[in-house]
Structures are given as structure tokens and as C-alpha cells.
Structure 1
Amino acid sequence: MRAAVVHSFDAPPRYADFPEPVAAGAHEVLVDVLAAGLHPRVRSAADGTHYTSDGTLPLVPGIDAVGRTADGELLYFVADDGATGTLAERSVVDRRRSITLPPGTDPVAVAAAMNPGMSSWVALRRRAAFRPGGSALVLGATGSAGRLAVAISRHLGAERVVGAGRDPRRLALVRAQGADDVVDLTGDVEEAAARVGRAAADVDVVLDYLWGAPAQHTIPALLRARTDRAKPLAWVQIGSVAGPEVTLPSSVLRAAALTVMGSGQGSVTTAGIVAELPSLAAEIASGALAVDVLTVPLADVEQAWNRPTEPGRRVVLMP
């Protein structure tokens, strides 16, 4: 079959021949891939920087897709650990990591939105134990996952949502997704953190897609601004596009009811993630949750890899 093949972590995948995977297990089925998203998680696997990478080459990247079985069943699936990736003409699906989509579902919409949507959906429902009527801050709200996080927070019952982002041109879109207030994170990092503190002082949950310097300065600024520091605050670390590390004084953890946790592969069971997929897929299929999509033929994967993409847009590759 043809696939996007990584031969070096220093170069983009090339469209090339690759051995077709074989469905061998009791729960496995071979599908024709219809659409697969080029997510940041896919890129980090392809350059060897993701924390799950074991350095094995060559590899086919891709972590999820929409595919069709020989019987015509439409599936959304998450690739099994160690399996051939989804940026290929065909893929093996472990049915325990998949859901059936209704006939007529747009494969492109699901392939584009499930991965970024899953990040906040799972974080709120499986990690932060978010309750309707609560409030949320999305740190990194101008990316595609962050904008969806604003909409998903509102959809899951948030009474107030604040979106903070580093692309001031897209803050109006964040407000259109349901944010009550937006904060521009550009400029001096301490001043930006103080602005976030004033806007989101008493939120219940922070969905953090940035980490790095924005998180390092925003955590103490937010805690200083809280009306009641004993009110629990769940800081859910989802992405680290602003940097992989932070430094925090120990007093931050003692002086407030702050819980810092991660949400990602390993912190939630596969069964727990899969259990959340049908309800999320239904919202995407209905049009309630969507992202800006650019479709590209899989044969053009190398060009798509290097092509600058407008912030907030998700590339979907189609064999």
C-alpha cells in the first residue's frame, strides 16, 4: 500500500510504499482509511519528540482516522499503541478502540475535530470532574484545540468561560465560540499573566495548552487574584506549545487549594477515552463542534508537512 513514511526524524514523511498491515487479533479488522488528521501529536511522533516515541524507524505516523470496513461500516478509531499509523491507504482497527459512525457522517469533519476536541472533552469529564455551573479558563484558546475547548466547556455546562491566547487576531473567534471574556497574552509575560488573573480569578478549572512561561507566571497571578484561595482550582495540563517546563515556588502549592494534573495518553485509560467518543462524535456530526479544515491528498503529504498553515486550521489527509 501507499503511506506517509518517516525514514528520518529530521525530515518530513514521504509518500512511499509500505507493507500493508494484517488484521490478526480477535478484535481486529482492516479498513480503508478515508480521512486522517495531521494533528500536533502526529507531528511530534514523526519527529521523535513525543514522550511515547521509542526511536524505531521507518514508521507511518498518524494516531486516529475515519475508515470503512469491507462490509461498509464507517468507523472512527484511535490507532493501537505500536501499530502502523493512520496516514496510509489502509489501517488495522482494534474494535475496542473504535466507534461506529452513523451513515452519512462526514469523515473529514470527524477526522479534523475528534482529536483536538477529545483533549478538552476528556480533561473535563475524566480528569477535572467538571460540574455544570462551574467556570473555566482556556490558556491557549486561539489554536484549534483551544477554540474547541471554549465551545466544549460551554457545551458541558460552564456558566463562565475565559479564553486567553497568543494570537490577538483570533480572539474574536474565541469569543464567538462562547467565551465571556478574552485575554491577549502578547507582550510582557508578567503583565499578560496579571490580565488573566483579573479576568479569570475565581474559575474552577484551567485547561492549559501552553505550559512554559505563560503557565509559570499565570499560576501565581491567578491564585493571588482569587477571592477565596481555599476554593479548589484544578489546573489541567494538556499541551506544552510554549515550553515543556515550568518553575514554581513551593508556597504556591501551600497557599491555595491548587491541584495540578495532566490529561493525555497514560493519565486516562484507553477504555475511559473510548467511552467518551460517541457523545463527542455526535456533537461533531451535528455541526455543534467544528474546526476550520484544509483537506490535502495523502500523496501530497510532504508538501503539506512543510506548508505554513493558518492558526486554528487543521489539515486532514485523504488517501
Structure 2
Amino acid sequence: MNTQQIHGAVLHGIGQTPRYEPFPAPVAGDDEAVLTVTAAALKPSDRAMAKGVHYAPTTFPHVVGLDGVGRLEDGARVAFFIPKPPFGAMAERTLVRRDVWLPVPDGVDDATAAAYLNPGMAAWKTVVFEGEAATGQTVLVLGATGASGRIATQLAVRHGARVIAAGRNQRVLDELVAGGADAAIRVDRPHDELAAAIAAAGPYDLIVDYLWGAPAEAVFAALMRTGGRPDGAGRQIRYILVGMTAGEVAGLPAMALRKAPVQLIGSGTRGQASLADAAAAYAELLQQAVAGEILLDIEPVPLADIEKTWERGGSDRRIVFTP
């Protein structure tokens, strides 16, 4: 019987706040590996898991945290995701499937590697792998001031697209424009005003939506106003839904689809990128982060402060727990 213990952010029931306390240490079985965790970022998906919405645990107690950075027994640094229950990333050690990880390049600190892992790879998957953003295209990022939306905007710029960043945080919008985005749109405005601003900045080849809800309804209204592309190219507008932070329901008028060639899909429906492609994209993303080419504000916090940090809002910095 395993009597060793670790400390971690332990959840005792759906809807509760995780507590920093002892937990049985993981023991690797066949095709498994124990990782010593060095950093794990706090994300909306972690809170959703604790609320029973996303990757919800079915037994308790359970350590929270869907991904992070750690070291293997040989000292190699890797980024991991979806630890094996009941273990999570927010602990001193965790349990993962063997070889299902991404190498962390030298020259990148653990907190940075953990902070960029989830939002960075989600942005890459949507903008590059699924969206195929390229020079000559116009990309609208709806929710550009969140962590993943911010990276998505910068990735689209780096791939040569004309990028319109739409969000609520004016400071981040200004930074995105300074970093190469062509225009910024505040989404916290009346429906008709927002629809007019979105229509004026188009036409679009790719729309990446982290918000849904009322902002998405304004996009559909804009597409009805503009119809197809005025250049006559007839290219399809790819609309990729990533998140629903502004609401789980959005009204979609039939004429939005009849007046404009829109393909509406959910991110992930194309399938998963290969582990090799994901590793290459992650390494490139981290190199760009270290070089200051793709920016994300990071706040390291001791894991012992999990309870007072878990529900903290009002910050545009990515919290990263360090055991």
C-alpha cells in the first residue's frame, strides 16, 4: 500500500474551491509516468472542471489542473496535459500517460512554458491548423483580449494576415494594435453599433470566436449587411467557434448564411494535430514568447495560495501556480 503523500490543490466536491492539502502520491503503472510538477497555469477550463462542466471528476477527492510543466525521472522538462484521475496538474507530482507530452526547449522558464501551453496551443490549433491563416487574408478575432484570443491575434499577424482584434480590454487592444493588428473594436457597445463597426472593418476570410452570445449575433448582423466579398472572389468565410464566455446561446438569422458564404464549425471538429506537429508548434511559440514577439502577462503564485487565488478576477494576467 502506498503511504507516501504529496501536497496539491484538492477538490472535495463539484462547485467547491480546491484546498491545498496532503494527497496520496501517484504511482506509475504500465505505460504511465510520474512527473514532478514545476508549474501549472490557472485557466477557465480548470474552473469549469471544478464546476462540473468540463472534464468533470466523478470521484472525490480529486486534484485539479488540466495541464502543466514538469520533469521526468531523467530530468527532462516536458509539458503535459490531462493527467490520469484522480491526479491533476496542480500538485507536487502527477501521473500521465507515457510519451504523451511536449518537450520544453532550453531557454524558457517553467512559468512561461506553463502559461503559454493551453492558450497558445489552442490559438495555434484554431488560427493555423484549422483556420489556415495566411498572407492576403483578413481575420477577425472575437475575444482578442483573453489569453488565447490575444495569442491568436498575434499568430495571425505573424502569418501575414490583416487582423481585426475585438474585445473589451482597451489596454490589451492598444497593445495588439501596437504589435501589428490592423484595427481594434470594442465589443461592449450596443448591438447595432458593434455590427456596424464589424461590417466596416471587413470583409473577412476567417472569424475566430471566443465569445459567442451577443457579440456573435453582432457578427451575423454584420455579415447580413455586407453579404459576400465585394471583391467578387466568392471565397468562403470560415467561422470557428472556440469559446462561449459571452453566452452559450446566440441567435443565427437564416439570412446570415444565405447572404454570405459562411462555414460555421466548432474548434476541434477537424480532429487533432499529430504530437510531432504540436511539439514543433509549441517550441516555435515559446521561442517567439522569449523573443518578445508574442506577449502574455504572467503572474507566478505559490500553489499554497490556491484558495485565495482560485476565484480571483479582474486581472488580465495568466496566473501560474508553482508547487
Q: Same fold (TM over 0.5)?
A: yes
1:289 positional shift: 2.1
Q: Which amino acid aligns with 2:119?
A: P
Q: Which amino acid aligns with 1:176?
A: A
Deviations 1:181-235 (CA, angstroms, capped at 9, x unpaired):
1111122122112211111x21211111100111022123134224258321011
Question: Is residue 223 of structure 2 the alignment partner of residue 222 of structure 1?
Answer: yes
Match of 2:3 in 1: none
Whether the 8 Å contact between 1:76 and 1:98 is mirrored in structure 2 is yes
Question: Is residue 136 of structure 2 the alignment partner of residue 133 of structure 1?
Answer: yes
Secondary structure of the residue aligned to 1:110 is: helix
1:233 paired residue among 226, 233, 237: 237
Identity of aligned residues (%): 37
1:142 positional shift: 1.7
2:320 paired residue among 313, 316, 319: 316
When structure 1 is superposed on structure 2, of 58-67 and 170-179 the one drifting more is 170-179
Cα gap change, 1:71/1:129 in structure 2, threshold over 3 Å: closer, same or farther? Answer: same
Match of 1:76 in 2: 79
Q: Which amino acid aligns with 2:7?
A: R
1:305 paired residue among 298, 306, 310: 310
Match of 2:195 in 1: 193
Match of 1:206 in 2: 207
1:183 paired residue among 162, 182, 185: 185
- After the TM superposition, which residues 253-268 of structure 1 pair with which residues of structure 2 at under 5 Å, given as runs? 253-264=257-268, 268=271
Distance in 2 (alpha carbons) for counterparts of 1:132 and 1:19: 52
Cα gap change, 1:300/1:40 in structure 2, threshold over 3 Å: closer, same or farther? Answer: same
Match of 1:168 in 2: 170
Match of 1:88 in 2: 91
Distance in 1 (alpha carbons) for counterparts of 2:206 and 2:177: 18
Cα gap change, 1:254/1:92 in structure 2, threshold over 3 Å: closer, same or farther? Answer: same
Match of 1:58 in 2: 61
Cα gap change, 1:70/1:267 in structure 2, threshold over 3 Å: closer, same or farther? Answer: same
Cα gap change, 1:283/1:171 in structure 2, threshold over 3 Å: closer, same or farther? Answer: closer
Whether the 8 Å contact between 2:223 and 2:256 is mirrored in structure 1 is no
2:287 paired residue among 272, 282, 291: 282
Deviations 1:65-87 (CA, angstroms, capped at 9, x unpaired):
11012221111111246562101
TM-score (norm 2): 0.89
TM-score (norm 1): 0.90
Deviations 1:283-317 (CA, angstroms, capped at 9, x unpaired):
3344432310111100110011133341x210000
1:8 paired residue among 9, 13, 20: 13
When structure 1 is superposed on structure 2, of 253-262 and 226-235 the one drifting more is 226-235
Secondary structure of the residue aligned to 2:24 is: coil
Whether the 8 Å contact between 1:98 and 1:274 is mirrored in structure 2 is no
Deviations 1:11-67 (CA, angstroms, capped at 9, x unpaired):
2111112222222133x32111000000111111111122x4354433222111110
Q: Which amino acid aligns with 1:62?
A: G
Match of 1:109 in 2: 112
Whether the 8 Å contact between 1:33 and 1:68 is mirrored in structure 2 is yes
Distance in 2 (alpha carbons) for counterparts of 1:123 and 1:81: 26
Whether the 8 Å contact between 2:61 and 2:86 is mirrored in structure 1 is no
Distance in 1 (alpha carbons) for counterparts of 2:137 and 2:259: 22
Whether the 8 Å contact between 2:145 and 2:168 is mirrored in structure 1 is yes
1:279 positional shift: 3.1
Whether the 8 Å contact between 2:210 and 2:244 is mirrored in structure 1 is yes
- After the TM superposition, which residues 119-130 of structure 1 pair with which residues of structure 2 at under 5 Å, given as runs? 119-130=122-133
Question: Structure 1, unaligned stretches of length 5 or more?
Answer: none
Secondary structure of the residue aligned to 1:306 is: coil
Match of 1:43 in 2: 47
Secondary structure of the residue aligned to 2:74 is: coil
Question: Is residue 35 of structure 2 the alignment partner of residue 31 of structure 1?
Answer: yes
Secondary structure of the residue aligned to 1:170 is: helix
Whether the 8 Å contact between 2:208 and 2:240 is mirrored in structure 1 is yes
**Could you say what the CA RMSD is over the residues aligned between the two structures, in angstroms?**
2.2
Distance in 2 (alpha carbons) for counterparts of 1:217 and 1:81: 41
1:88 positional shift: 0.7
Whether the 8 Å contact between 2:206 and 2:239 is mirrored in structure 1 is yes
